[in-house]
């Protein structure tokens, strides 16, 4: 999604803004730009495509300054084009970068057109630039003009504004999109994501909805929407907020897949002792909630939604607590009925996904006992909005398509399932056995990664196909769904997931000798049923590929299969997800796709 970076300093800082924008590339974008005050009119440069185009264009100019803002755009209003790229400038004096959507921009635009403003772009952001310019004709102070402007805007926004008449300050405003200030001695910065702030910052401040701020090289002040000064807490930036680069890997996605054994250790660290989930895994308040808990609602988007689906199988099977899992954008608008004694769980890697955040805000007013989030980014909007957060500790994830995040989310949700069972005193012996099994997860993930050569060979044989079907049953059905999602995102090949039992209710009609069908085959109580489904595909000439537990080898009569060590039934979905990630990765690479930034997609979807 769109990214914002701004720096105000005593020295020349356009290159710092560019460095920050490069760190936001992973979020997905289609154009980029930077603007700086000069005291002699705003200087603005924008390019379409990747950041390297902007860097090249900048090299041909002499644009420099000590107060600059930059942006990576992911088109919402108006197609990706040079005129639609940010920053948007009004009368060489005001420049604005903006994330989000201004819902009433057409009404404002009509007023501005009538007042003589000329539009260059199709964006809602250009309206903000002209509006501030217009207000400044009577209101001489930039902050006051921005406060007035913000009151007139409906919708979601994070924005940074510079003015050439007041060339040493940046004004910030936030409503429903993330914006964070970076503080260093003689320099202040702003970004939509902590990872894009200069690593030299000493503190970060997360702005809240309705906040405005004025930053200069030596000062910062935050205001509420009525212009009253407000205090917001300062935090030390977490070292995990900054990326260490690709290291020896070809792509971030590859690195993040291979990091999973380590990520699993971090997600588990300090959370299991003597085959028991530690007491401090959750707070006393949450423990009290779990005691009387009768229902759970889980809400998430994308890959995080699949984590929720797996957790639903675990919780209902072991703890017998009813669990409903929703896609956030559906939950928000389906008038959900909140059952008795219900816990609301939001799962999100970024903690900023607009639909998940809105669902959480809705849930907070709807009568749940407690709101819990499972999140990777500490202090993100979803963490701040929740009563409690269980951090997944996966470290910064750069690949747009989530990989290691799912593993860490499942581990945390597995721990929560075990804790809930313990609190409800359910099957202590089985819970202990499952806890032991979860403790092996890091080693088992390493073993699964050893099968990468075989997965690569499979990738080579299906990389030229147009369609692929993924099958799974029970708690592995969400893994088939995740496999299809990862596959389509990265390979651009159409992929669908089906619960294997549904095959004969429709998708079997698609199966012929040109259709690869890939199934996940654990050795569980559904094995015989799954083997019948495999036979159904083979009988229609389909190309069947099986990711199988080694211990059910003798039962599967299929030439194309890849074996995995038996890991136990509880952690099996976490483990079988890994070869599917590798498969999507290899097919994407073979097809020459940008696997880290797949076309049209964004990492953190901060608009509805």
CA–CA–CA angle 190, 384, 171 (5° rounding): 25
Which member of 18, 149, 400, 479 binds ligand G6P (CB under 6 A)?
400
Residue 374 CB, shortest distance to ligand G6P, in Å, is 10
Cα torsion through 572, 577, 580, 586, rounded to 10: -120
Residue 577 CB, shortest distance to ligand G6P, in Å, is 13
Q: Which is nearer to ligand G6P, 101 or 400 (CB)?
A: 400
Q: Is 396 in the site for ligand G6P (CB under 6 A)?
A: no
Find, among 5, 112, 113, 25, the residue nearest to 67 by Cα.
Answer: 5
Q: Is 152 in the site for ligand G6P (CB under 6 A)?
A: no
Q: Taking contact as CB under 6 A, which single stretch among the options 30-38, 126-134, 235-243, 343-351 is the one that binds ligand G6P? A: 343-351
SS3 31: strand
Q: Taking contact as CB under 6 A, which single stretch among the options 47-55, 123-131, 183-191, 599-607 is the one that binds ligand G6P? A: 599-607
SS3 600: coil
Find, among 180, 606, 4, 24, the residue nearest to 352 by Cα.
Answer: 606
Q: Which is nearer to ligand G6P, 44 or 353 (CB)?
A: 353
Site string for ligand G6P, 293-332 (x = CB under 6 A): --------xxxx----------------------------
Q: How many residues bind ligand G6P (CB under 6 A)?
A: 16
Q: Which is nearer to ligand G6P, 26 or 368 (CB)?
A: 26
Binders of ligand G6P in range 541-580 (CB under 6 A): none
SS3 40: coil
Q: Which is nearer to ligand G6P, 121 or 304 (CB)?
A: 304
Distance CA 439, CA 273 (A): 10
Distance CA 463, CA 135 (A): 56
Q: Which is nearer to ligand G6P, 177 or 301 (CB)?
A: 301
Q: Which is nearer to ligand G6P, 55 or 601 (CB)?
A: 601
For residue 211 the two structure tokens come to 């906040």
Strands 94-102 and 155-163: antiparallel
Strands 212-215 and 166-175: antiparallel
Is residue 50 annotated as part of the catalytic site, yes or no? Answer: no
Which member of 356, 371, 435, 491 binds ligand G6P (CB under 6 A)?
356
Q: Is 18 in the site for ligand G6P (CB under 6 A)?
A: no
Cβ burial, residue 564 (10 Å; 0-12/13-18/19+)? buried
Residue 486 CB, shortest distance to ligand G6P, in Å, is 9
Q: Which is nearer to ligand G6P, 152 or 601 (CB)?
A: 601
Beta bridge partners of 223: 212, 229
Q: Is 373 in the site for ligand G6P (CB under 6 A)?
A: no
Q: Which is nearer to ligand G6P, 158 or 183 (CB)?
A: 158
Q: Which is nearer to ligand G6P, 308 or 542 (CB)?
A: 308
Q: Is 349 in the site for ligand G6P (CB under 6 A)?
A: yes
Residue 406 CB, shortest distance to ligand G6P, in Å, is 8
For residue 421 the two structure tokens come to 């069972």
Residue 482 CB, shortest distance to ligand G6P, in Å, is 9
Contact 147, 225 (CB under 8 A): yes
Binders of ligand G6P in range 401-430 (CB under 6 A): 401-402
Q: Which is nearer to ligand G6P, 264 or 546 (CB)?
A: 264
SS3 64: coil
Helix axes 51-59, 14-24, angle to 10 degrees: 170
Sign of the CA dihedral running 476, 480, 481, 482 = positive
Distance CA 195, CA 239 (A): 10
Which member of 90, 353, 386, 572 binds ligand G6P (CB under 6 A)?
353
SS3 94: strand
Distance CA 211, CA 217 (A): 20
Query: DSSP string of 169-211?
Result: EEEEEEEBS--EEEEETTEEEEESSGGGS-TT-SEEEEPPTT-
For residue 355 the two structure tokens come to 């639909």
Distance CA 603, CA 607 (A): 12
Helix, strand and coil percent figures for the chain, each rounded to 5: 40, 25, 35
Q: Taking contact as CB under 6 A, which single stretch among the options 114-122, 230-238, 425-433, 598-606 is the one that binds ligand G6P? A: 598-606
Cβ burial, residue 168 (10 Å; 0-12/13-18/19+)? middle
Residue 410 CB, shortest distance to ligand G6P, in Å, is 13
Which member of 37, 72, 348, 386 binds ligand G6P (CB under 6 A)?
348
Residue 380 CB, shortest distance to ligand G6P, in Å, is 9
Residue 522 CB, shortest distance to ligand G6P, in Å, is 24
Q: Taking contact as CB under 6 A, which single stretch among the options 48-56, 277-285, 345-353, 559-567 is the one that binds ligand G6P? A: 345-353
Binders of ligand G6P in range 162-181 (CB under 6 A): none
Find, among 515, 511, 529, 516, the residue nearest to 473 by Cα.
Answer: 529
Which phi and psi angles does 100 have, rounded to 5°?
115, -165
Contact 81, 33 (CB under 8 A): no
For residue 538 the two structure tokens come to 């083979």
Find, among 418, 391, 164, 170, the residue nearest to 266 by Cα.
Answer: 391
User: Which residue among the candidates 2, 177, 383, 567 is catalytic per the annotation?
Assistant: 2
Which member of 14, 175, 603, 606 binds ligand G6P (CB under 6 A)?
603
Q: Please identify the residue of the shown chain whose CB is closest to the bound ligand G6P.
A: 302
Which member of 190, 471, 605, 607 binds ligand G6P (CB under 6 A)?
605
Is residue 436 annotated as part of the catalytic site, yes or no? Answer: no
Q: Which is nearer to ligand G6P, 371 or 604 (CB)?
A: 604
User: Which residue among the candidates 22, 43, 255, 603 is catalytic per the annotation?
Assistant: 603
Active site positions, annotated: 2, 603
Residues binding ligand G6P (CB under 6 A)? 301-304, 348-350, 353, 356, 400-402, 601, 603-605
């Amino acid at each position: 999604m769109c990214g914002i970076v701004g720096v105000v300093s005593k020295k020349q800082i356009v290159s710092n803004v560019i460095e920050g924008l490069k760190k936001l590339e992973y979020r997905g974008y289609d154009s980029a730009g930077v603007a700086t005050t000069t005291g002699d009119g705003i200087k603005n440069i924008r390019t379409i495509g990747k950041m390297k185009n902007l860097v090249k264009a900048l090299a041909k100019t002499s644009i420099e300054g000590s107060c600059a803002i930059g942006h990576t755009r992911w088109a919402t209003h108006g197609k990706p084009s040079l005129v639609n790229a940010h920053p948007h400038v009004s009368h060489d004096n005001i420049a604005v970068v903006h994330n989000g959507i201004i819902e009433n921009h057409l009404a404002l635009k009509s007023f501005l057109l009538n007042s003589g403003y000329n539009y260059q772009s199709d964006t809602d952001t250009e309206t903000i630039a002209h509006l501030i310019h217009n207000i400044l004709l009577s209101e001489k102070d930039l902050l006051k003009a921005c406060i007035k402007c913000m009151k007139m805007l409906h919708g979601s926004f994070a924005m940074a504004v510079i003015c050439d008449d007041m060339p040493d300050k940046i004004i910030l405003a936030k409503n429903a999109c993330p914006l964070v200030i970076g503080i260093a001695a003689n320099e202040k910065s702003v970004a939509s994501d902590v990872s894009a702030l200069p690593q030299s910052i000493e503190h970060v401040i997360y702005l809240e909805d309705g906040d405005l701020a004025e930053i200069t090289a030596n000062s910062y002040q935050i205001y509420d929407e009525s212009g009253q000064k407000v205090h917001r807490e300062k935090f030390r930036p977490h070292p995990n907020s900054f990326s260490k680069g690709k290291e020896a890997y070809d792509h971030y996605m590859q690195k993040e897949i291979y990091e999973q054994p380590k990520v699993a250790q971090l997600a588990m660290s300090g959370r299991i002792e003597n085959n028991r989930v530690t007491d401090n895994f959750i707070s006393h308040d949450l423990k009290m909630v779990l005691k009387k808990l009768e229902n759970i609602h889980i809400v998430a988007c994308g890959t995080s939604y699949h984590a929720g689906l797996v957790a639903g199988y675990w919780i209902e099977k072991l703890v017998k607590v009813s669990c409903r899992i929703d896609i956030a954008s559906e939950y928000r608008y389906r008038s959900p009925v909140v059952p008795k004694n219900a816990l609301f769980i939001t799962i999100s890697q970024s903690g900023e996904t607009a639909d998940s955040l809105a669902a959480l805000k809705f849930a907070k007013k709807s009568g749940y006992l407690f709101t819990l989030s499972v999140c990777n980014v500490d202090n993100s909007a979803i963490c701040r909005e929740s009563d409690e957060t269980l951090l997944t500790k996966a470290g910064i994830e750069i690949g747009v398509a989530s990989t290691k995040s799912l593993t860490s989310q499942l581990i945390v949700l597995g721990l929560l399932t075990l804790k809930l069972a313990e609190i409800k005193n359910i099957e202590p012996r089985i819970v202990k056995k499952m806890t032991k099994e979860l403790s092996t997860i890091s080693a088992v993930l390493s073993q699964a990664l050893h099968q990468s050569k075989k997965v690569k060979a499979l990738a080579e044989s299906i990389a030229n196909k147009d369609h692929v079907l993924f099958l799974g049953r029970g708690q592995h059905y969400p893994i088939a769904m995740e496999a299809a999602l990862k596959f389509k995102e990265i390979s651009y090949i159409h992929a669908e997931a089906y619960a294997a039992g549904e095959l004969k209710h429709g998708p079997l009609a698609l199966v012929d000798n040109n259709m690869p069908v890939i199934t996940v085959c654990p050795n569980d109580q559904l094995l015989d049923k799954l083997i019948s489904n495999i036979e159904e595909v083979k009988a229609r000439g389909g190309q069947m590929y099986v990711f199988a537990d080694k211990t059910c080898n003798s039962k599967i009569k299929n030439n194309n299969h890849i074996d995995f060590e038996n890991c136990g039934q509880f952690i099996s979905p976490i483990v079988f997800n890994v070869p599917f990630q590798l498969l999507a990765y290899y097919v994407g690479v073979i097809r020459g796709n940008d696997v880290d930034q797949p076309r049209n997609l964004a990492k953190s979807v901060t608009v509805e």
